[in-house]
Structure 1
Amino acid sequence: MMKVIGAGLPRTGTTSMKAALERLGFAPCYHMVEVMTHPGHVDHWLEASAGKIRTREDWDRVFEDGYQAEVDWPASHYWRELADAYPEAKVILTVRDPYKWYPSIRMLLSGQNRPAPSDELPEQVRQLLATMERMGPLLNQMGRAHFGPDWTFGAEMGDEEAVVAAFNRHVETVKQSIPAERLLVFDVREGWEPLCAFLGVDVPAGEPFPHLNDAESMRQAFERMKSGDMSGFPLDRPGG
């Protein structure tokens, strides 16, 4: 059953949050990596994008493999629907400095350094790219909800101030929509204490908070992927 709903946008420490939540016992935690490693999941998200996932029973089917938490797109895009479907779940809005977030989300969504589809690529890489291609309609729908009706996945992000404004609008929408006692606005740099206090669990003794999948690590992962090396992708080295 879903116990923790992530409402943060991509590149707000969502990979670190996945690792942290699983360490705290909220495992498994859904993340875009689940779509990459389970291509059949795309069907669920295309149904969601078409408005066919409406009830708690529908969402239970999406998360039927026992997921107790979710962060990152595509699941976090449906934070409002999930909060309604699972009223007992807590909501975490991951945030960061939006001006530092901008180059990171730009690199991710504009497709910088991502290899183009080619028969010369290894099969595993081609399968991953094919999965993301199938996700195209949903990725466009999610992006347009934030960045405007003309935005297309893989295209240039556009003006920094406009994208930062979209980030700030999202933060305010979540804060105004979820009761304060049910919501944690969280920067992963804050570490274990506020997260554990909110979730009512003990702080892991002697363990640093995970900081994973920084922008440079992602860039290097895409470079390795071009040559067929899938090691560390999409979860990369520590960095923030």
Structure 2
Amino acid sequence: MIVATGLSRTGTTSLHLACLSFGFAGIHYPDREAIPWLNGRFTDEIFSRYDIVSDAPVPAYWRRLREVRPDLRVIHTRRNVETWIGSVRRHWAATGPSSQYTLLRDQIRLAVYGVIGFDEAIMRYVFERHDDSVMSEMSGRADFLCIDLDDGFDMKALSRFLGKSEEGAPKAPHARSPRIGALADLPRARVKAAAPHLQAFLSRLAAEPQ
């Protein structure tokens, strides 16, 4: 079981799709599943259905999840803070203002970033504090993998970490948008049935101009 500690817009969608391509079950942006976490209730129930959980609000609660499931391994995605800030600014601007319909989204933003609206100084502080905290605690451990997007998405390193053969490893997916439809929530019960859809989606993604 794996918990992904990277903040949104650090390649978490690409990581999610990469793990799916290796046959793992995963959920990306587990908003409704995280409602108990937002209320201070932590169990390992989510891992009865998924092998990996990624994206907000997971980075805010990964330590609490490891307390209830100590065997969880950690994958941390990161990137240059300046490019990250620009990416988050564009993403938040495209998601619309707060309203009565965005209460859960706003709670998740508060949990991870401490703000609902974009604030560059706060975002920079949160990014650097979070990245430093994860790296200082986990670097050098056998149950930890760091993927730095500035060095490229290393599928061979991911293959080894997941216990898969490096030979014939699928090409690293490059997802520019977190909007991946039903593939965002793929429990174990649907992994086989979703395989054709996943392969078709990854093929379309690979054909897009990089």
Question: Normalising by structure 1, what TM-score?
Answer: 0.65
Equivalent position to 1:14, from 12, 15, 20: 12
Q: Are 1:138 and 2:100 an aligned pair? A: no
1:51 aligns with 40
Cα pair distance change 1:14/1:116, threshold 3 Å: same
Within 5 Å, give how 1:123-162 maps onto structure 2.
130=101, 132-144=102-114, 151=115, 153=116, 155-159=117-121
Cα pair distance change 1:50/1:87, threshold 3 Å: same
| SS of equivalent to 1:180 | coil
| SS of equivalent to 1:181 | coil
Cα pair distance change 1:117/1:9, threshold 3 Å: closer
Equivalent position to 1:198, from 161, 166, 185: 161
How far, CA to CA, are the matches of 1:137 and 1:190 in structure 2?
30
Q: Which has the larger radius of gyration?
A: 1
1:90 aligns with 73
Equivalent position to 1:24, from 10, 17, 22: 22
How far, CA to CA, are the matches of 1:142 and 1:51 in structure 2?
14
Equivalent position to 1:79, from 46, 56, 62: 62
Within 5 Å, give how 1:154-173 maps onto structure 2.
155-159=117-121, 163-173=123-133
| SS of equivalent to 2:34 | helix
Kindly, what percent of the aligned residue pairs are identical?
24
Structure 1: give runs of 5+ residues left out of the alignment.
36-40, 119-128, 145-150, 219-234
Q: Deviations over 1:92-135 (max 9, x none)?
A: 11011111111111223xx31334699xxxxxxxxxx83x4334
Task: Output the amino acid matched with 2:94.
Answer: N
CA drift at 1:170 = 1.1
Cα pair distance change 1:206/1:9, threshold 3 Å: closer
Question: Is the contact between residue 30 and residue 75 of structure 1 (CA under 8 Å) also seen in structure 2?
Answer: no
Aligned length, in residue pairs: 183
